[in-house]
Amino acid sequence: MVLLVDVGNSNIVFGLSDGNTILKNWRLKTFLDKSSDELYILIKTLINDSFDDVMISSVVPVVTSALNKMFTKYYQLTPMILGPGVKTGVMLQADDPKSVGADMICDVAGAYRYFEKSIIVDMGTATKYIYQNKNTFMGVAIAPGVSISMKALVNNAALLPSIELQTPNHVLGHNTISCMQSGIIYGAASQVDGMITRIKEEIKDDDIKIIATGGLSKIIVPLCKHEIVYNEVLVLDGLLSIYNKNKN
């Protein structure tokens, strides 16, 4: 069994795999100040299953280092960390290939398991719109994520309160909270639809598959007008493909 770890700016997602599929997954808020000892206690409480290998994809170097020390010290395992020297199978059409984040590489590898070409909508700290064609990263558009947009609004408008991200019943609200929820939630869905339409026009492919992932996509995708496949563990799927490519 292999433990797959996706470290993002907002969340850390763990996935347990038998080498073929993701059997279980867990999600934690990303921590920046945990020692390897604290990490062990936290993860031991969360994950009771046994595993004999670890692979990490991370966009937060300080957490990568802490996890690496923890797995080495307490599990006697040296994690494979996605980075230079690791075969991904993903080709990168980018001015600076080194600037393409590990999360986006995993998105492409994961989407390619299901579709030869696709538009990937990854809704995390940032919302990323990635075009992949035959396991090649063809380009991306990056926008502020839903949570970041909400925090920016609240922090810069003295009279607006913090709210829960829930879908209101109507687009037009009649109180402050429902008005904000509508603008943020339906606005995000409209952005997704609009960006998909623009990307389809640019690549001249109206029939391309759309696949969405990320913590907030479960809320947003049902509100979109495009047909979108939701995959909660797309990054882990991609990380598993990369793991197998290097182990086999």
Place of tokens 């984040």: 101
The torsion angle over the Cα atoms of residues 230, 236, 241 and 242, rounded to 10 degrees, is: 140
Catalytic residue among 53, 103, 107, 122: 103
User: Known catalytic residue: 107?
Assistant: no
Alpha-carbon span 80 to 72, nearest angstrom? 11
Q: Which SS3 state, helix, strand or coil, does residue 39 take?
A: helix
Sign of the dihedral through C-alpha 43, 47, 51, 57: negative
| Token couple for 230 | 């939701």
Q: Which residues contact 216 (CB under 8 A, 6 or more apart)?
A: 123, 124, 145, 146, 147, 165, 188
Pairing mode of beta strands 91-92, 22-29:
unpaired
Alpha-carbon span 23 to 152, nearest angstrom? 37
Alpha-carbon span 50 to 187, nearest angstrom? 43
Sign of the dihedral through C-alpha 211, 219, 24, 247: positive
Residues annotated as catalytic (active site), given as ranges: 103
